[in-house]
Amino acid sequence: MRALIRFIIIFLALIQSLFFWKNKKRVPKKILIAHNLLLGDTILLAPLMKRISEKFPKSKKYILARPTFVPFFKNLPYGFNCLSFDTKSLFDLLSIFLKGPFDQTFVIGDNRYSWLAKALGSRWSIGISDDLPHWKNWMIDEGKPFDKRPATWADMMARLVDGKNPEPYKKNEWARPEIQKLSLSLDKIKPYIVCHLGASNELRFWPSISWQILIKGIKAKGFDIVLSAGPGEEYLIDHVDPSKSYYHVRGTFSLLEMWSLIEKSKLLISSDTGIGHLAKVASVPTITLYGPGSPLIHGGGRFWKNSLHQSITVDSYPCRDQNSFFRREVLWLKRCTRNTYQCKTPGACMNVISPEQVINSFNTILKKIR
């Protein structure tokens, strides 16, 4: 099915390129954000969405997202309707086609989705230039480079829209959709801290002993502890809390339930992962542990400058020596994108983060939230 869908997209994109003129409207009537990103990077499109909304308040606005993430957009944040985009679903492709054509499309991350934009009849596609391989860029009408000075991914995406930066995020701008009561009752527990142990890459896992030392220090401050992990990561909770002394969320919560859980907490502590970025829109104080990743690219930046956030990392770690981001070279960026087979010292960049570092950051935030 995926091969058929790709053939349809390529065929229609070529037809549109050969027989239809392209032009950039000053005031587009329909705008699309085209991508297929993971949770964290999808959430970090908030400043782009806000900037589009500020500049084109009367335009109809649409954003693609993986089916699992569609509920996040139920309340139409920044006026955006979310369209389910499963790359293997012919039904999703047809549904997207029925919403087009679009006057402007912002292509995020992988420029292959500029071909989808062209197939949809988009008049003008804007994206980050110089994707690899080069054929991905053929349908981009306006390519912009990544910033030459350090900036977050979120802030750079907002600057795909000409003009000023969006106003910084305010609490509840992206309102959480209503959900049924959480399966974990929080009514009778003390103010609690969420420690999210999972990550999309196991090289971002923090050692169990470090979590145990940290949690002991937090518990001494009078807080309850909720340990969470995603599906398939339940064993992380067992390693950290074999005696079952704390509350557990063992990969059973939906993403909206996780949003509610985080929103009601005093603080979230996690590695650089989607749940950590979810805390940004929930306006919850956050401590993020960066091992392979970089707070330069995924930290708070300008848009979330009003949020209470601490980034924990060890600067200039030796094997954090790559500067590729979405297959583009970013000279000021130092990160590691190796997988478990390529990494010669798995977990080393996370192991050097000490519980004392995190406890010190916790104490700093605690002074501000109490």
CATH number where 141 lies: 3.40.50.2000
Q: Is residue 314 part of a domain?
A: yes
Instruction: Among 113, 134, 158, identify where a domain stops.
Output: 158
Give CA–CA dist 221/264, Å, rounded.
Answer: 18
H/E element holding 263?
helix 255-263
Tell me if 278 sits within 8 A of 257, measured CB to CB.
no
pLDDT at 23: 76
Mean pLDDT (whole number) for 354-362: 96
Give the number of other CB atoms < 10 A from CB of residue 155: 22
Classify residue 172: in a domain, yes or no. no
Position 253 in a domain: yes
Q: Considering the chain, what is the average pLDDT of its residues?
A: 93
Residues 44, 133 within the same domain? yes
List, for residues 263-310, the tens digit of each pLDDT value: 999 999 999 999 999 999 999 999 999 999 999 999 999 999 999 999
Asked, for residue 181, whether it belongs to a domain, the answer is no
Q: Judge if 135 and 231 occupy the same domain.
A: no
Q: Using one digit for the tens of pLDDT, what is the confidence trace for 106-129?
A: 999 999 999 999 999 999 999 999
Give the residue numbers spanning the domain of 307: 192-369
pLDDT of residue 16: 87
Q: Does position 187 have pLDDT exceeding 70, yes or no?
A: no
Residues 33 and 112 in one domain: yes
In a domain, 178, yes or no: no
Cα separation, 370 vs 364, whole angstroms: 11
Could you identify the residue written with the tokens 């971002």?
A: 204
Are 32 and 110 within one domain?
yes
143 & 212 share domain = no
Give the least confident one: 130-139, 167-176, 361-370. 361-370
Residues 317 and 246 reside in one and the same domain:
yes
Do the domain assignments include residue 95?
Answer: yes
101: preceding bond cis by omega (within 30 degrees)? yes
The predicted pLDDT at position 12 comes to 87
| 246 within domain boundaries | yes
CB 328 within 8 A of CB 130: yes
Percent of the chain with pLDDT over 70: 98
pLDDT given for residue 368 in this prediction: 86
Residue that terminates a domain, selected from 109, 132, 158: 158
- 83 neighbors 63 (Cβ within 8 angstroms): yes
CA atoms of 273 and 35, how far apart (whole Å): 18
If asked whether residues 322 and 233 sit together in one domain, one would say yes
pLDDT in tens, 24-49: 778 899 999 999 999 999 999 999 99
Both 140 and 207 in one domain: the answer is no
Query: Which pair of structure tokens corresponds to residue 299?
Result: 């930290």
**Structural domains counted in the chain:** 2
Do 146 and 214 fall within a single domain? no
- Long-range (24+ apart) CB contacts under 8 A made by 77-86 are 77/46, 77/49, 77/173, 77/174, 77/175, 78/46, 78/49, 78/50, 78/52, 78/53, 78/173, 78/174, 79/53, 80/33, 80/49, 80/53, 85/36
Does 224 share its domain with 351? Answer: yes
Query: What integer pLDDT is reported at residue 19 of this predicted model?
Result: 76
Model pTM greater than 0.85? yes
Residue 13, domain member (yes or no): yes
The string of DSSP letters for 6-52 reads HHHHHHHHHHHHHHS-----SS-SEEEEE----HHHHHTTHHHHHHH
Same domain, 50 and 8: yes
Examine the domain organization and report whether 204 and 123 are in the same domain. Answer: no
Question: Which of 14-18, 45-49, 146-150, 247-251 is least confident?
Answer: 14-18
